[in-house]
């Protein structure tokens, strides 16, 4: 363990929902829920206004609708989420070469390795300035935890939410952890938590009191030793800059089970193309093609085929996925399909056109794959039974009308699509309804949340976000300039809150 809180954990607040609120003025301050909108969809993110009603991530969308019937329900826009994530991760990499992303909106940073901080005071200043820089660049809020270990930094960021900063001083960790639930510790999920609860262990302090031998007896040697160490606030895990990507995969969950074998085949082909798109986007190729099929009775089958060499050729992946599908019985109906590529490399096998033509197809070796997927991103988006020729308008996605300009889809159905015309920097806009085939309406890319404007030594930006708008100084600024209005810095175990405010 370190002697200074120089490990930082950043967690963007309600990331997907906050992006939607920042880009849609009419939704600011209102309940927003992002996820798959079909009856089998799940909540990806809920805004803090929606969480008041009990809505949370991973909740079935049908349950969310019962709890918050008047919320705005939107389909994810992963393109803009990735773009903003890249901006945020870029700011983190300016602080240190050791940045460990956990997802699009969450990462650890080793401030000591980058020379950005060496004690509590410098770490606090870096954390406060980072939050201001993130708001200036994206218009969004992020919560920061600072501690001497990864576990405690993450606990700190949770305590800081929303839109705050918490510093956990070395030496105060045991007192902080003691009354917390066992579920606070990494590696304690629902099953382990229930197992400990049945043994009369509910808090971290009770784990420490039970002793290492008892935990080993309850949970096994590896898990018991690790959990006991964490209960004592011992966490020596380093911040790892690059985590090896094991696979790239995509999947779709369908509102209605697919029974038509031809439709199943077409969906697999479409998923294969999407998977290759992500594979190429990451600059990777892979040797093993994986097909995932969840049938009507929730039984899940996974099949794979290993090629002679790595590929990023869509024809090769499509044909391999089609061969794998031939071995799966789908007569009872299919509720989920997925295609993935593993055995990744940063080069491709030469002369893949022969494989695409099927000449090397017999070299593939089919075998079942144990467990689930470990992909760069596996996104389940509920889909209906619309025909391939119908025009689809996803709720929340960006459109432009030849007469009315930029807007976003509020909803569609019965041959009509409703659009609200507004932009991140505008006032809440008006709503209009069109035929789904209106020739003046087209899907477009999202607008940036923050508009670059010339001026000042480092330039300035007009911040458009759910927290109001304001002007942020350029990179030539110093100190903790740019800390957002209403920001709060707390110190756990110290003499009080640091004097940082908007």
- Provide the 3-class DSSP secondary structure of residue 326: helix
CB 325 within 8 Å of CB 268: yes
Give how far the C-alpha of residue 448 lies from the chain's centroid of Cα atoms, to the nearest Å. Answer: 19
Can you tell me the distance from the alpha carbon of 147 to that of 166, in angstroms, rounded to the nearest whole number?
9
Strands of the sheet with 460-463, listed across from one edge: 450-453, 460-463, 470-472
Q: H or E element: which one contains 470?
A: strand 470-472
For the chain, the residue count is 502
Identify whether 390 is a catalytic site residue: no
Q: What is the dihedral of CA 139, 140, 144, 150, to 10 degrees?
A: -120
Strand stretches in 318-379, DSSP E: 334-345, 365-368
Catalytic residue among 106, 112, 173, 319: 106
Site of tokens 């927003």 = 32
Can you tell me the distance from the alpha carbon of 170 to that of 136, in angstroms, rounded to the nearest whole number?
31
Helix axes 314-326, 261-281, angle to 10 degrees: 140
CB 41 within 8 Å of CB 382: yes
Tokens of 150: 């990864």
Count CB-CB contacts under 10 A for residue 427: 9
Q: H or E element: which one contains 196?
A: helix 190-198
The end-to-end CA distance of the chain, in Å, is 33
Count CB-CB contacts under 10 A for residue 261: 12
Q: β-pairing, 106-110 with 470-472? A: unpaired
Tokens of 249: 């995969």
3-state helix, strand, coil in the chain (%, to 5): 30, 30, 40
Can you tell me the distance from the alpha carbon of 225 to that of 214, in angstroms, rounded to the nearest whole number?
10
Can you tell me the distance from the alpha carbon of 151 to that of 237, in angstroms, rounded to the nearest whole number?
9
Whether the bond into 199 is cis, omega within 30 of 0 = no
CB 280 within 8 Å of CB 312: yes
Site of tokens 């369908």 = 254
Tokens of 488: 């709060």
Catalytic positions are 106
């Amino acid at each position: 363990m370190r002697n200074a809180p120089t490990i930082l954990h950043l967690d963007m607040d309600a990331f997907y929902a906050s992006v939607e609120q920042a880009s849609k003025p009419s939704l600011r301050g209102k309940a927003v829920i992002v996820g798959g909108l079909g009856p089998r969809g799940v909540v990806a993110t809920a805004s803090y206004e929606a969480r008041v009603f009990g809505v949370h991530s991973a909740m079935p969308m049908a349950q969310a609708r019962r709890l918050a019937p008047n919320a705005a329900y939107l389909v994810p826009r992963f393109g803009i989420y990735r773009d903003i994530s890249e901006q945020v991760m870029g700011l983190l990499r300016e602080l240190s070469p050791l940045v460990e992303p956990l997802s699009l909106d969450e990462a650890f940073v080793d401030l000591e390795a980058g020379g950005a901080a060496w004690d509590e005071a410098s770490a606090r200043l870096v954390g406060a300035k980072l939050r201001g820089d993130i708001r200036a660049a994206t218009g969004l809020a992020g919560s920061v935890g600072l501690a001497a270990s990864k576990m405690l930094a993450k606990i700190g960021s949770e305590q800081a939410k929303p839109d705050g900063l918490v510093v956990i001083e070395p030496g105060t960790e045991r007192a902080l952890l003691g009354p917390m639930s066992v579920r606070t510790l990494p590696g304690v999920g629902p099953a382990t938590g229930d197992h400990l609860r049945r043994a009369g262990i509910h808090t971290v302090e009770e784990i420490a009191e039970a002793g290492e031998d008892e935990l080993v007896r309850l949970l096994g040697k590896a898990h018991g030793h690790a959990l006991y160490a964490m209960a004592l606030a011992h966490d020596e895990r380093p911040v790892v800059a690059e985590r090896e990507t094991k696979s790239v995969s995509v999947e779709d969950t369908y509102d209605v089970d697919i029974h038509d074998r031809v439709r199943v085949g077409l969906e697999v082909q479409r998923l294969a193309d999407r998977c290759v798109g992500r594979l190429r986007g990451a600059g990777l190729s892979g040797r093993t093609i994986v097909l995932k099929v969840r049938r009507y009775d929730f039984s899940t089958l996974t099949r794979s085929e290993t090629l002679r060499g790595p590929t990023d050729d869509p024809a090769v992946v499509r044909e391999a996925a089609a061969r794998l599908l031939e071995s799966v019985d789908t007569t009872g109906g299919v509720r989920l399909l997925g295609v993935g590529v593993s055995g990744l490399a940063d080069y491709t096998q030469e002369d893949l056109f022969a494989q695409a033509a099927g000449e090397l197809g017999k070299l593939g070796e089919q075998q079942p794959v144990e467990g689930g997927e470990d992909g760069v991103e596996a996104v389940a988006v509920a889909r209906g039974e619309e025909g391939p020729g119908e025009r689809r308008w996803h709720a929340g996605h960006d459109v432009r009308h030849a007469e009315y300009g930029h807007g976003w889809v509020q909803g569609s159905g019965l041959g009509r699509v409703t659009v609200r015309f507004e932009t991140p920097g505008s006032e809440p806009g008006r709503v209009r309804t069109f035929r789904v085939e209106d020739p003046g309406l087209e899907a477009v890319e999202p607008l940036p949340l923050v508009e670059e404007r010339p001026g000042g030594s480092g330039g300035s930006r007009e911040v458009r976000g759910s927290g109001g708008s304001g002007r942020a100084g350029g990179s030539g600024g110093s100190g903790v300039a740019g800390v957002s209005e209403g920001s709060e810095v707390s110190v756990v175990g110290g003499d009080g809150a640091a004097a940082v405010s908007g």
